[in-house]
Structure 1
């Protein structure tokens, strides 16, 4: 009993220390476990859409449910009855994906992906909204991107991993009228491996950007596009200024030295990153989840205007290679002594070899200035973990053997002691 308890505590300790959180139970409905809904998709008609369910697939992988040959069913819940799809026609079902070649406004709705075997039934949901091209508001399709005047910004055309694409075929446009961006014009824009690069952001760069390409599917070409809305902020620090005081003279043209008054603008303190520390390395086992928090201290009056964000290899989480395996959010502001603390969470669903030495930055900025802290991801060597388990298991085994031998030899020792005492008594 003691051995089992010690082994259980060791496993729990390893899970929490080395980044493997306990699996939370999933809610159940109509006999099926329900995965939390996927992010909503907003697209425009006439383009190819591949509907996948990354959260759903991750839940199955983490719980070791399903095999490469497992069957998945994707249906559309239209409120009357589920509509199933096959592998032919305009809408095609391919294993864990649904292809729209091309999409139409009538494709808008709720889609359900189901995995079922003799033991488990798991479902995932996703909402899709397809706009008509003649009435679409580009801002509704856009991914918001914040930027600061002077910073270097790299746009990556996201959510294209399901398509067979070539980076050189990605074209970039600015504005809702799809005006082609002139690369290299006055050093404003350049392109690197299909990414749009702005070496130094200006206020004039704010606005809508579209990346567009044609992808081959079933020997045909289909258009695919993504839209960004770039918001630019100028965080110049205000300083004290000296201005003439018109109340001291009736003639503005006759202003002497004594008629000046000084207007003092309060000095805004820059935010300070409390956690993590610069150079922190986050370690986790392969396939395990990892949760990180960026904690920033600032004045409470500046809390709402203080920007806090995570960057992956210098890019926003949504535009990085981690976009399908990482979630950023849960911003929380709490009042502490002499100020407020802002907390922003970053969750990596499952670590892989691809994440080794990935650079994560916590960046914060307000009108008083900014700060950034650089951290790294690293895969934990499972050898030490299993060594700990092995040591605990061997200790438990030796304890059980010792107790067994003690119980086994105790009657023999008692009998031998009685015989020795009897001999002494007879001799005496």
Structure 2
């Protein structure tokens, strides 16, 4: 085998030396990478935690709770029914506004995070403050705050922790024990106790009926004396610990609303339009001095609701409007076509209005407006007729003048002479 020596330096390299030189160069590079690369510090890309989070403001709903009871704050960016289907790569965190410490996940702590909600078991007055819910994924970060205020259950705090509800005088109505869905969604034997002031409303009460299995209390023949504070409560057991949950309702009794028989004043029975155009047909109802809120007004197509008849929303029922003209009450709901199609010409559209005193319907049909008009069609014929009549009258007039001139010019003895205006010029 031919040896490769460095002292014989010539432009031409022996082929047997090439593999040895390549192997040597690769060995040197490997040693350099192994020893030097650990010393090179590459710049790190910012992590999700380091990215700036967008603050979406304070949630409109504030929580006013009673000390010593369970409280659940829902993350305002996530609806409760959407949380089970949230993507696994979404990270949800809670923290208090005046603390950088995150609320722990799990059920061991008194305050913890569970199913996208912040749990207080139970809540204390010191928990009052602003809590921020943070949602993160690989590309987005969003924050929103929720206000919590905790009160001691005293008479002075009733205006802050009570829920306002209204019933009408001389009617029967329902009171609802509010904001219990977080504690009742898996209950089949729901039991709610009702109090008026401090008096328990038992089953034998003829005035108040506790609707079993629901969160409602039926008040019969409402009177002015029924106004005041009501308390509803239920028991809640979590991990073997018993809690009491109460809600306080302030009932206001208003005068009974007056109703009148509704009268539909529009639309017309036939609506002319063009195919492919957008059309709005308002249904206007006169109520006089009657109440507007108790009157139902809607549109139907072939005795079917508009939403069912047109699931594609090409034809929709517009927003309800309530207004007053000359001290008289009206309500109006438009029917909107976007656009009108030929199939709508055979549809039976009906405006329906009803309340406790009356019921009325008004049918209307859509027809295609024709562009043909007899007046337009006969106009050219009339013009031709007038031109021909003018020509005929002009010729008749010239012929009459010629005859008169001839009778005066020619001798009476020439009775057989035919006189024409052109021949008169030749005689001259």
- Name which one, 1 or 2, has greater alpha-carbon Rg: 2
> Per chain length, whose mean CA-contact separation is higher, i.e. which structure has more relative contact order (CA < 8 Å, sep 6+)?
1
TM (normalized to structure 2)? Answer: 0.49
